């Protein structure tokens, strides 16, 4: 019985708090704005962080968490090239054979050579795509997903077949949005038949990174025997060697072995770099976590300001309703009843502001994605955190005004004008 009486009393207090807020609509809305903007900002910042984290994970997955990537460092001048060639032949096919023979943890390996063509037909709508010569294993190493068609086979690679797989942007630029399978593309003086088209791949944020969507992939032997690399004398025989390690292999330790082998064949000449996507993943996650914490801390300031606004307005309301408080106390209301009355008002402001803030957060995330081209993801966790904090702000910043109202002397309150 006493429990039902307590529930009905609380419902009555909530209803009265709502009526008091509706009586001062403009003031209530202005007070809630701080909470609305604060909750929206928190959700928006967390959406940016979640979107960036998802993009990073997709890019690292594309590189392969079990991969070790060797990149050549081309010379920038004739003098630098001559100096390097005194001690090192650069990254070559010989390095590929040595790595395959001496690295026990290799599951798949592909040399990679790039070429910028002088002519491509049909004429691309955008800039000319790059030409990459790789082994069929390159598809497994980099987790290729095909929109249509297939990857070239080992047999086609061994026979230097004139076949190619198009990146998504290259396909659209050459053939539009229709199917490209079976069609031919002329690169320099060679005709290549399209046998596959890749799905869109994640592009690195680095300005120097090649957009793999704008690449024509062909067998490595086809590039070697059917194309001549005009103007690329400053580059090594290979642009890179991509290695996929066996499951359970420590990529960091394997990379040390790769570096030791290449240092031996290159006579310690620093003309190559080794990248470990697994390390990149750890660095990206750490950087994204710091970024998210900073952004949320900045956004949380808005909630703090909103909480101070609630406390300020409720304090002003207490002064305006001093006589009402005196009448309630004189007619039997306890201090706890007065505390609940004003505390529920501040909580209702923060909860209603939190609900509207969630909608504003969705809009803010959409606006950022549309205006800046960033990927944003609004998660349930971000909504729960932002709404929970907004409700807590209303509770914490409403306690002081509510307690102050309950301590007003009833006799003095009745005399208040």
Q: Which residues partner with 146 through β-bridges?
A: 198
The pLDDT of residue 196: 95
The pLDDT of residue 207: 40
> Are the CB atoms for 256 and 111 separated by under 8 Å?
no
Place of tokens 């202005």: 30
The pLDDT of residue 306: 79
Q: SS3 letters for 162-199? A: CEEEECHHHHHHHHCCCCCCCCEEEECCEEEEEEEEEC
* Strands 240-245 and 130-134, bridge-based pairing: unpaired
Q: How far apart are CA 67 and CA 277, in angstroms?
A: 7
Q: How far apart are CA 358 and CA 353, in angstroms?
A: 9
* DSSP symbol at 87: T
Q: Residue 273: phi, psi to the nearest 5?
A: -135, 145
The pLDDT of residue 296: 72
The pLDDT of residue 208: 45
Name the residue among 307, 104, 115, 288 with its Cα closest to residue 210: 115
Give the max Cα distance, the chain: 103
State the alpha helices, DSSP H only, in 210-333.
Answer: 220-226, 251-265, 277-320, 322-330
Other beta carbons less than 10 A from residue 316's beta carbon: 12
Tell whether pTM > 0.95.
no
Q: Residue 323: phi, psi to the nearest 5?
A: -65, -40
Residue ranges per domain, the chain?
Answer: 2-59+283-415, 74-270
Per-residue pLDDT of the chain (417 residues; tens, 9 = 90+): 455 555 666 677 677 777 777 777 777 888 888 888 888 888 888 888 788 777 766 666 666 678 888 999 888 888 888 888 888 888 999 999 999 999 888 999 999 999 989 899 999 888 899 999 999 999 988 888 899 999 999 999 999 999 999 999 999 999 999 999 999 999 998 999 999 999 988 665 444 457 889 999 999 999 999 997 655 667 888 999 999 988 888 888 888 899 999 999 998 988 899 888 766 666 666 776 777 777 777 777 777 877 888 888 878 777 777 777 777 777 777 777 778 877 888 888 888 888 898 999 889 888 888 887 777 888 888 888 888 888 888 888 888 888 887 777 666 666 655
- Dihedral Cα 344, 348, 350, 354, nearest 10 deg: 150
């Amino acid at each position: 019985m006493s429990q039902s009486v307590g529930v009905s009393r609380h419902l009555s207090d909530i209803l009265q708090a709502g009526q008091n807020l509706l009586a001062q609509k403009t003031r209530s809305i202005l007070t809630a704005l701080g909470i609305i903007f604060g909750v929206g900002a928190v959700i928006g910042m967390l959406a940016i962080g979640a979107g960036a984290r998802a993009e990073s994970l997709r890019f690292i997955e594309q590189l392969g968490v079990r991969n070790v990537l060797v990149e050549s460092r081309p010379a920038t001048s004739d003098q630098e090239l001559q100096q390097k060639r005194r001690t090192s032949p650069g990254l070559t096919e010989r390095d590929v054979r040595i790595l395959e023979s001496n690295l026990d943890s290799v599951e798949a390996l592909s040399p990679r050579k790039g070429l910028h063509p002088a002519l491509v037909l049909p004429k691309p709508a955008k800039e000319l795509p790059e030409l990459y010569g790789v082994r069929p294993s390159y598809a497994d190493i980099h987790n290729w997903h095909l929109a249509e068609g297939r990857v070239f086979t080992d047999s086609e690679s061994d026979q230097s077949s004139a076949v190619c797989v198009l990146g998504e942007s290259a396909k659209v630029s050459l053939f539009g949005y229709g199917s490209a399978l079976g069609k031919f593309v002329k690169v320099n003086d060679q005709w290549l038949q399209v046998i596959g088209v890749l799905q869109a791949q994640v592009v690195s944020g680095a300005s120097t990174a090649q957009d793999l969507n704008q690449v024509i992939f062909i067998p490595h032997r086809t590039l070697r025997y059917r194309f001549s690399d005009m103007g690329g004398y400053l580059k090594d025989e290979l642009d890179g060697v991509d290695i996929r390690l066996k499951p359970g292999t420590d990529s960091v330790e394997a990379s040390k072995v790769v570096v030791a082998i290449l240092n031996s064949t290159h006579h310690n000449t620093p003309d190559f770099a080794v990248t470990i996507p697994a390390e990149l993943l750890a660095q990206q996650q750490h950087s994204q976590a710091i970024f998210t914490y900073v952004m949320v801390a900045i956004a949380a300031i808005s909630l703090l300001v909103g909480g101070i606004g609630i406390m300020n307005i409720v304090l002003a309301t207490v002064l305006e309703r001093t006589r009402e408080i005196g009448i309630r106390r004189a007619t039997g209301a306890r201090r706890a009843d007065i505390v609940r009355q004003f505390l529920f008002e501040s909580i209702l402001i923060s909860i209603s502001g939190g609900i509207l803030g969630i909608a504003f957060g969705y809009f803010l995330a959409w606006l950022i994605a549309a205006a800046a081209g960033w990927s944003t993801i609004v998660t349930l966790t971000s909504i729960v955190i932002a709404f929970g904090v907004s409700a807590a702000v209303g509770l914490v910043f409403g306690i002081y005004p509510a307690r102050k109202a309950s301590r007003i002397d009833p006799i003095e309150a009745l005399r208040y004008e």
